[in-house]
Amino acid sequence: MFTREAVLDALSKVNDPELHRSLSDLKMVRAVHVHDGRVEVTIALTVPNCPMKDRIVADVQTAIHALPQVEDVKVNLTTMTAEERKSVFGEPTEGMAAKYNRVKRLVAVMSGKGGVGKSLVTGLLATALVHEGSQVGVLDADITGPSIPKLFGLCGPINAGPVGLLPLRSEAGVKIMSFNLLLETDDQPVVWRGPLIGRAITQLWNDVLWGDLDYLLVDLPPGTADASLTTLQSLPVNGIVMVTTPQSLSAMIVRKAVHMAQIVGVPIVGVVENMAYFTCPDTGKRHLIFGPSHADEVAELANAPVLSRLPINPFIAALCDEGKVESVTLPEVASMINTFIEAVPSMPAPLNLDRVS
Amino acid sequence: MFTREAVLDALSKVNDPELHRSLSDLKMVRAVHVHDGRVEVTIALTVPNCPMKDRIVADVQTAIHALPQVEDVKVNLTTMTAEERKSVFGEPTEGMAAKYNRVKRLVAVMSGKGGVGKSLVTGLLATALVHEGSQVGVLDADITGPSIPKLFGLCGPINAGPVGLLPLRSEAGVKIMSFNLLLETDDQPVVWRGPLIGRAITQLWNDVLWGDLDYLLVDLPPGTADASLTTLQSLPVNGIVMVTTPQSLSAMIVRKAVHMAQIVGVPIVGVVENMAYFTCPDTGKRHLIFGPSHADEVAELANAPVLSRLPINPFIAALCDEGKVESVTLPEVASMINTFIEAVPSMPAPLNLDRVS
């Protein structure tokens, strides 16, 4: 017959799925009762309503059932006290979360120009990647004009985890963090000068428990000042998706962003042209509302492929306004996602990064 | 018969139209020859190709012709040397130009959200005000994503005047200054942190000889960070035009800008909704491409009237891309300009401002 020790040994090999340390090591294993073929264990979650709790229970079940002669496993849940958390993780410090994050690819969505659809492209990419089976996060680096929470239909509050803030989960499973989720109301202005803006962005990296991600997409604000500088210089970005629109005015400003990317040495993985045309629902005719495309010249300058040309579509605008960017279905997205996946350089090893400054 | 002294006396009453000091005082009057009814004078312009030279010649002609018995007046032009300029104006210092500027109304065009058409609205307002007979300037405060020069079809170089940089003149006569005009190429990025961005904006006020203006319009970039903060706190802005689009996502971010305006205490004079609808050229039907209007709620929050709802129109986009924003004719603009003029608070006296920091 298996023993209590065998159960404890089995649990010492079960890792917290985001903290990457064993439940025993994290002092999450509490009572363990063994009676005939039945096992009852109590696991202390690090925070109440831990978003990983179902996964943890399943992993515990699997590990104990793997022991010979186990007939029944019951898992009770409790939550650590603040003192217990402190004894395991230490005093919360800046950058503590970053140590637990394992991000395989960090991609910035950039434009230079405002209102071209960076957040829409970020939302479409994130959704497509999740549907393709990847773990995806979106870091909203637009501190003063954030669109991401509204696009995904999310609002605060944000909960604190044992080592940092916990991102929200969208309906499709994208992890989302935006400074706007930390504000009291969504239309409260952030009237800050640049250095604080940069600091807010590094905090969204340092102090958020992103956990394991195949892709973390960073939605940049317009311009080539603080937010772009901090993101491209302080975060380990390994690719940029450049968004443009057909207006040659936009193209000129997007070229500035391309030049900035070249100055800081971050490769551009592709160009997306948004608002390329409007198809009249009555006649089916395509209207080049914002003029002929300039995507090819931007792509040539960026030395990157055109990933997609997205139409102007009232249904897209309506879904975005309803917080349902994940319900947007566009054939253009399906066709771009393969090129995107191939174009994003894979890292030699997952980024397991300490805090940045 | 009139004498040389009478001519000199007449000239001592002619002012330089932008520097507001007499030509004598500015040591611009050089040779004066009087022979019978004929007068020949030489005027030294402060800089080569002074944009005011025709006006100065006309004013000199008028003043001398006003003397009795003058039959013919010949005005020769020359240019001051750098030494002569220095002896009149002193060593060039920061903020020297600001002392010569007389601006009656300073209006910021703001949104918070990018790509909603702030620069288009600025261009349309400036053009309409010039056609209505006002002296108008446009200060492009979007340092990293400037649209103004391209909209007006202007490119550098910028010339230095005796006390500061000379704005360019658009075809319709709008005085324009943009940081982009000071760059070597128009797609060179300005990769600066916020404090430098703020400093660039104050320099566009302090070191540009705007001269006499009925309206100086400041085209703000997206966001509520450095550029907006510096403009609304350091420059004596006496009204804001808030630009929005129908997307409720935009409206949320525009509300942030409205709240910022309220925090810094600058009144909003009106709201312009851009991209309100698209009229299909084939069917004449209006399509609400970006959804139903949110202008009224923004206006209510801003406690200001909706000045106009502008359509999406491929012809506008094409004219803007060709640098011909002044050729855009829209009935919507004509109808908004009266409300705008009434809504902008008139100053008790023209701003004759020293440098700001």
The domain that holds A14 is classified in CATH as 3.30.300.130
Closest CA of chain A from B157, distance in Å: 18
Question: What strands lie across the sheet with B72-79, from one edge to the other?
Answer: B29-35, B38-45, B72-79
Mean pLDDT of chain B: 93
What is the pLDDT, as a whole number, of residue A326?
98
Q: pLDDT class for B160, splitting at 50, 70, 90?
A: confident
Residue B257 lies in a domain: yes
Share above pLDDT 90 across residues of chain B, in percent, rounded to a whole number: 84
DSSP assigned state of B14: P
The verdict on B109 and B244 lying in the same domain is yes
Which residues form the domain of A297? 97-352
Does residue A170 belong to any structural domain of this protein? yes
Quick one: B157 and B208 in the same domain? yes
Instruction: List, in order, residues 6 or more apart from A17 with CB less than 8 Å away.
Output: A52, A55, A56, A59, A211, A212
Last residue of a domain, one of A25, A55, A89: A89
Question: How far is residue B50's CA from residue B53's CA, in Å, rounded to a whole number?
Answer: 5
Quickly tell me which residue has 């002929």 as its tokens: A292
Is residue A269 one of the residues assigned to a domain?
yes
Closest Cα partner for B309 from B277, B350, B286, B284? B277
How does pLDDT run across B332-352, given as a tens digit for each residue?
998 899 999 998 976 555 455
Q: What is the pLDDT of residues B98-118, one digit of tens each?
A: 888 999 999 999 999 999 999
> What is the token pair recorded at B249?
């996502």
Q: Is residue A208 part of a domain?
A: yes
Backbone angles phi, psi at B214, to 5 degrees: -80, -40
Exposure pattern of B129-142 as b/e (b: 16+ CB <10 Å)?
bbeeebbbbbbbbb
Residue that the structure tokens 């406690």 belong to = B303
Contacts of A90 (CB under 8 A, 6+ apart): A96
- The chain B residue lying nearest A112, using CA atoms, is B145
Residue to test with chain A: of B109, B180, B202, B256, most A Cβ within 10 A: B256
Are residues A167 and A75 part of one domain? no
User: Cβ separation of A113 and B115 shorter than 8 Å?
Assistant: yes
Amino acid at A122: T
Can you tell me the mean pLDDT for A127-140? 97
Torsion sign, CA atoms B1, B7, B13, B17: positive
Say which of A197, A282, A321 has its CB closest to residue B283.
A282
What pLDDT sits at residue B354?
A: 59
Boundary of a domain, candidates A57, A89, A121: A89
The pLDDT value given to residue A219: 98
Q: How many residues are recorded in chain B?
A: 357
For residues B207 and B78, state if they share a domain: no
Cβ separation of A188 and B259 shorter than 8 Å?
yes
CA distance A341 to A338: 5
Q: How many angstroms away from the CA of A178 is the closest CA of chain B?
A: 14
Kindly write down the DSSP assignment for every residue of B213-228, as one continuous string: EEEEEEEPPSSSSHHH
Q: In what order do the strands lie in the sheet with A72-79?
A: A29-35, A38-45, A72-79
The answer to whether residues B173 and B278 belong to one domain is yes
pLDDT tens per residue across span A283-334: 999 999 999 999 999 999 999 999 999 999 999 999 999 999 999 999 999 8
Of the candidates A206, A197, A262, the one whose C-alpha atom is nearest the C-alpha of residue A230 is A197
Whether residues A170 and A32 fall in one domain = no
Backbone angles phi, psi at B152, to 5 degrees: -95, 5
Confidence of residue B161 (pLDDT cuts 50, 70, 90): confident
Can you read off the two tokens belonging to residue B143? 């340092």
Give a yes or no: residue B357 inside a domain: no
Q: How far apart are CA A217 and CA A221, in angstroms?
A: 13
pLDDT tens-digit series, residues B15-34? 998 888 999 999 999 999 99
| B281 contacts A252? CB cut-off 8 A | no
Please tell me the distance in Å from A297's CA to the nearest CA on chain B. Answer: 13
Q: What is the mean pLDDT of residues A81-97?
A: 88
Taking CA atoms, B183 is separated from A157, B149, B188, B242, in Å, by 44, 12, 7, 29
pLDDT > 80? residue A346: no
- Total domains in chain B come to 2
- Reduced to 3 states (helix: H, G, I; strand: E, B; else coil), residue A88 is helix
Structure tokens at B164: 């500061």
Statement to judge: residues B234 and B214 lie in one domain: yes
Q: Is A185 on the interface with B (CB under 8 A)?
A: no
Do A76 and A156 lie in one domain? The reply is no
Per-residue confidence (pLDDT) for residue A155, from 0 to 100: 94
Longest dimension (CA), chain A: 77
Name the pairing type of β-strands A278-279 and A286-287.
antiparallel
Token pair, residue A71, equals 């007939």
Same domain, yes or no: A82 and A109: no
Q: Between the CA atoms of B343, B349, B355 and B357, what dihedral angle is there, to the nearest 10 degrees?
A: -50
Contact between A74 and A38 under an 8 Å Cβ cutoff? The reply is yes
CA distance A21 to B239: 58
In whole angstroms, give the CA distance from residue B208 to residue A67: 81
Degrees (nearest 5) of the Cα angle A234, A240, A245?
A: 130
Is B147 close to A253, i.e. CB distance below 8 A?
yes
Do residues A43 and A55 make contact, with C-beta atoms less than 8 angstroms apart? no
Model confidence at A335, in pLDDT bands (50, 70, 90)? confident
**Is A85 in the same domain as A101?**
no
Does residue B291 sit in helix, strand or coil? coil
Closest CA to B236 of B270, B213, B257, B259: B213
Strands (E) located in B80-185: 102-110, 136-140, 168-169, 175-178
A112 touches chain B (CB under 8 A): yes
**Residue among B70, B69, B5 at smallest CA distance from B32:** B5
- Judge whether residue A356 has pLDDT over 90: no
Backbone angles phi, psi at B273, to 5 degrees: -100, 120
Distance from B262 to chain A by nearest Cα, in Å?
A: 11
Contacts of A276 (CB under 8 A, 6+ apart): A245, A246, A288, A293, A295, A309, A310, A311, A312
pLDDT at position A1 over 80 = no
Give the pLDDT score at A228: 95
> Hey, what are A242's tokens?
């450049």
Token match 């969505």: residue?
A109
- For residue B173, give how far its alpha carbon lies from the nearest alpha carbon of chain A (Å): 22
CA dist., res. B122 & res. B220, Å (int): 10
For residue A187, the model assigns a pLDDT of 94
pLDDT for residue B346: 64
Mutation for B interface: A184, A196, A226, A229, most B CBs within 10 A: A226
DSSP B276-288: --EE-TTT--EE-
Sign of the CA dihedral B279, B285, B290, B293?
positive
Instruction: Report the alpha-carbon distance of residue B275 to residue A278 in Å, rounded.
Output: 13
The CB density around residue B338, as the number of other CB atoms within 10 Å, is 12
If you average pLDDT over residues A117-144, what whole number do you get? 97
Same domain, B238 and B324: yes
Confidence of residue A353 (pLDDT cuts 50, 70, 90): low
pLDDT(A137) > 60: yes
CATH number of the domain to which B296 belongs: 3.40.50.300
Lowest-confidence region among A147-151, B68-72, B84-88, B91-95: B91-95
Same-domain check for residues B206 and B341:
yes
Coil vs helix vs strand at B353:
coil
pLDDT in tens, B181-198: 999 999 999 999 999 999
N- to C-terminal Cα separation, chain B:
54
Rounded distance, CA B338 to CA B336, Å? 6
Which among A62, A89, A116 is the end of a domain? A89
DSSP string, A208-245: B---EEEEEEEEPPSSSSHHHHHHHHHS---EEEEEE-
Other beta carbons within 10 angstroms of residue B320's beta carbon come to: 26
Phi, psi of B169 (to 5 degrees): -115, 130
State the DSSP code for A179: G
pTM of the model: 0.92
- What dihedral angle (degrees, nearest 10) is formed by the CA atoms of B144, B145, B147, B148? -20
